[in-house]
Amino acid sequence: MPKYLHIVNGDVFAEKLRASGIPGDILVWRESLYEGPVGLQMSDCVLLSFRAQYMNRRYGIPMAHFITNTMEQERALEHVSSDIDEVVLWFEHDLYDQLMLCYLLYRLSGLVNQTHYSLSLLSINHFPGIARFFGLGQLSADQVHQLQGTWKPVTAEQMKLTRRVWRAYVGEDPSSMNELLDADLSALPFLKDALEVYLGRFPSEQNGLSAVQQYTLELLEERDYSGGELFGQVSQKFMDYGLGDLQFWGILKSMILCHVPLIRVAAGDNQFISDKVFADSRLLSGLVQLTEEGRSVLGYERDHILMNGVDEWIGGVHLQGNQVIWRRNASTMRLVRLSDYG
């Protein structure tokens, strides 16, 4: 019987896989590649230090822990046990997983002449009997067991495509993504939708909001929501994003802790949370409201970037400042570089 190594995203699904009875070792890949600075090889010491600082500043993840975890998984990828016959990658359809899949296949393509194992892929966006499929973590151990042996060999075409995608994603000039979206991406059937979600992360030409920010403000225009309710609504709308609660709190904070807040969090008795650092639990239970300035941005009267600036990484693109910036055309869903919004 062949010996397997399964590479999966997240500990929740790893536990389901262990309980399923499918044989093999498991490598859990713990990374969020749609956040922070990225590069061709994530274990690069300069990039890793820079990235660890970002994760510490944004989420409070200890830098030493982040660096250690990254290096451990990279070493595990490079030094697969000699008794492994087949490496199976389990990844879903959303942006979070598709980026991870592209990176892993990019890295593995560089090792292909040194490897002793075959590569296979299981990538799905639905499962029989599940009306709204979010991801593999939804499945029971018995349902995971039904997937045994359904993975397919990774093709040369898939490897070539992921190399192209990853190089484009980490580049400083995102216009190559425009070209990719016009190319044949059928070798990885969920990739096109994922890349369109990626483009939605860029600020729009019309008001400087990302797609998630825009939808959040549209919800708040109708009524106030608790942070938990908002996350539920937005995560349902953006199922192809792979949006986690920590990432969503970061998006909310970007519209609260800025020069001209677009939203605010009520603390009761007509008081609002105004301190510059507050726990995510207060976002979860607090009542989130649209400010008048947020309403004007939503009505295309003002521009979020011009008012508040930006300091954010989207792949290899560092969006910084108030003026020279890449923007998303909401009609064409392509990126344009504008230098003057005056």
What is the pLDDT at residue 322?
87
What is the pLDDT at residue 277?
44
> How far is residue 287's CA from residue 272's CA, in Å, rounded to a whole number?
9
Largest CA distance in the chain: 67
The two domains 4-176 and 203-338 share their CATH topology (first three levels equal): no
Tell me the pLDDT of the chain (342 aa) as tens digits: 889 999 999 899 999 999 999 999 999 999 899 899 999 999 999 999 999 999 998 888 999 999 999 999 999 999 999 999 999 999 999 999 999 999 999 999 888 666 789 999 999 999 999 988 989 999 999 999 999 999 999 999 999 999 999 999 999 999 899 999 999 999 999 999 999 999 999 999 999 999 999 999 999 999 999 999 999 999 999 988 888 888 898 899 899 989 999 999 986 555 555 544 455 556 677 899 999 999 999 999 999 999 999 999 999 999 998 876 799 998 888 998 876 444
> How far is residue 337's CA from residue 1's CA, in Å, rounded to a whole number?
54
Buried b (16+ CB within 10 A) or exposed e, 298-330: beeebbbbbbbbbebbbbbbebeeeeebbbbee
What is the pLDDT at residue 280?
56
- The length of the chain in residues reads 342
Segments making up each domain of the chain, as ranges:
4-176, 203-338
Residue type for position 170:
V
Q: How far is CA 241 from the centre of its chain?
A: 6
The CATH code for residues 203-338 is 1.10.10
Q: Closest Cα to residue 183, out of 163, 164, 209? A: 164
Is 327 strand, coil or helix? strand
Query: Which one is the CATH code of 4-176: 3.40.50.300, 3.40.1360.10, 3.40.640.10, 3.20.20.210?
Result: 3.40.1360.10
- Give, rounded to a whole angstrom, the gap between the first and last alpha carbons of the chain: 67
Residues 6+ apart with CB under 8 A from 133: 124, 125, 126, 127
What is the pLDDT at residue 342?
44
> How far is residue 157's CA from residue 159's CA, in Å, rounded to a whole number?
5
Is the distance from CB of 307 to CB of 260 less than 8 angstroms? yes
3-state helix, strand, coil in the chain (%, to 5): 45, 20, 40
